[in-house]
Amino acid sequence: MAVETDAMTHRYTEEDYTDWEHTGPGTLGGRYLRRFWQPVYVAKDLKPEWAAPIKIMSEQLTLYRGANGTPYLVGFNCAHRGTQLSIGWVEGDCIRCRYHGWMYDGTGQCVEAPLEEPSFPQKIKIKSYPVHEYLGLIFAYLGEGATPPLPRHPGLEQEGVIEASSFIRHCNYVQELENDSGHVPFTHPQNYGGLPPKGSFCLADVLPQHLISKETKWGLTRSTVTEVHHVTPNTHATGRAYRELKWMVPIDDESYVSLSTELTPLTEEWDKRREAKAEAEAKGYGRTNYDLIDSVLAGKVRLEDLDRQAPGYLINIQDGAVQIGQGRIRDKETGHLGRSDVFIVMLRKIKEREQRALAEGRPLKQWQSSAYPWPASSTWPGIPADPELDDYLHLPRPAKQPGTSAAKPPSEWQRALSRS
């Protein structure tokens, strides 16, 4: 694990190149992740003149929204005697400390210290970061040097309903980042109708394109019932009749916040689906229940029994159990990757390559964060599929080798995937 120290003077080791789990200030993994805008909050959850304490990549900060609606991100503590700023109040575009009234603007500059000389405030400044509201989320840039433009995602700027949401999971963000396609029939057997009976899924049922992953302009792509694009460094783009972007953002090294934004079509069918979802959420379905996950991990409750109670709404419980069950941070020394883990192997190799380049001051790959194609769908006006994907998303079945027995007819599962 990297020692948290001054990033510019620290000499990193081989161990740091493969460490992206630790993301605190000064860690190599943290420096790499900070080179990208990260969502930090669901925009509608921050009302004007409200402040919220947040923790992102082990850094505690104060997010607040000015009276005119502009969000700002500044340091966590007041520079005077360290009171938590979020318990103060917002005045215009500034935030005032609750203890002795020092006030800071959105750049972190102290603009008032009522009990001090008038010239005093100008000497005081706390940290601040650029923020931007987009697609229902508040994004922040916590990186070194000049702030790059916030990447846009034209596929989500089209007509439809944008809904942003978030949940927290108590394990390292990489465990969700490496959440692969192969887990679906086992972890979520009740959520995807038509899957083979529990435990009957095996390598012979997998189409070749589902075991192939390739580096792309935006990161990597893997595919299951729908394609999932891994957008470097911590985003997934998925969907078919809807479009979803999901970021896994570390809170610290043992928990992360999943922030998503989803665009759904403006049709009667989707109006009904949105209503049903809102109703289910009001009843508490879909909410991550950590007591339940703890009970599953403690052997007091079986996932099979829960599956029957609220089928379709247990994804977070199921994913939470399998991910937190790996430990808060997975032990890299254990585990045996197989043929089906090609996506993970590639992901780790790319991360290592980029972190090594960062540590050595060499040029990094310039990712095109919105170059991924959305899956073709009759619902949306077409964004043409990227030909870069064609050579592996539509692979033919492997040719039969002479002398082997006749090819097995495709299973129901294979046929379902071929149609999707």
80 binds, among Fe ion, ligand FES, none (CB under 5 to 8 A by kind): ligand FES
346 binds, among ligand FES, Fe ion, none (CB under 5 to 8 A by kind): none
What per-residue string of b and e applies to 39-59 under the rule 16 or more CB within 10 Å gives b? bbbbbeebeebebbebebbbb
The yes or no reply on residue 183 touching ligand FES (CB under 6 A) is no
- Distances in Å between the Cα of 330 and the Cα atoms of 112, 117, 325 are 47, 53, 9
Q: Which three-class secondary structure state does DSSP give residue 206?
A: coil
Q: How far apart are CA 348 and CA 332, in angstroms?
A: 11
Q: Please identify, among the stretches 50-58, 94-102, 180-188, 299-307, the one whose residues bind ligand FES according to the rule CB under 6 A.
A: 94-102
CB of residue 177 to Fe ion, shortest distance in Å: 12
Which long-range CB contacts under 8 A does 116-122 form with residues at least 24 apart?
none
Strand partners for 52 = 63
Residues that bind Fe ion in the complex, under the rule CB under 5 A? 319
99 binds, among ligand FES, Fe ion, none (CB under 5 to 8 A by kind): ligand FES
The yes or no reply on residue 139 touching ligand FES (CB under 6 A) is no
Q: Indicate the residue among 80 and 132 with the shorter CB distance to ligand FES.
A: 80
**Among 44, 81, 283, 415, which residue interacts with ligand FES (rule: CB under 6 A)?**
81
Q: Indicate the residue among 59 and 319 with the shorter CB distance to Fe ion.
A: 319
319 binds, among Fe ion, ligand FES, none (CB under 5 to 8 A by kind): Fe ion
| DSSP code per residue over 231-298 | ETTTEEEE-SSSEEEEEEEEEETTEEEEEEEEEE--SHHHHHHHHHHHHHHHTTTTS--HHHHHHHHT
Q: Indicate the residue among 36 and 201 with the shorter CB distance to Fe ion.
A: 201
Which 281-310 residues touch ligand FES, going by CB under 6 A?
Answer: none
| DSSP code per residue over 390-411 | HHHHTPPPPPPPTTSPPPPPPP
Residue 370 tokens, joined: 């919105």
Q: How far apart are CA 20 and CA 380, in angstroms?
A: 36
Residue 167 tokens, joined: 């949940």
Q: How far apart are CA 310 and CA 99, in angstroms?
A: 47
Q: Indicate the residue among 99 and 285 with the shorter CB distance to ligand FES.
A: 99
The yes or no reply on residue 84 touching ligand FES (CB under 6 A) is no
CB of residue 64 to ligand FES, shortest distance in Å: 15
**Among 10, 35, 55, 100, which residue interacts with ligand FES (rule: CB under 6 A)?**
100
Q: Please identify, among the stretches 79-87, 181-189, 388-396, 407-415, the one whose residues bind ligand FES according to the rule CB under 6 A.
A: 79-87
Please report, as ranges, the residues that interact with ligand FES according to CB under 6 A: 78, 80-81, 83, 97, 99-102
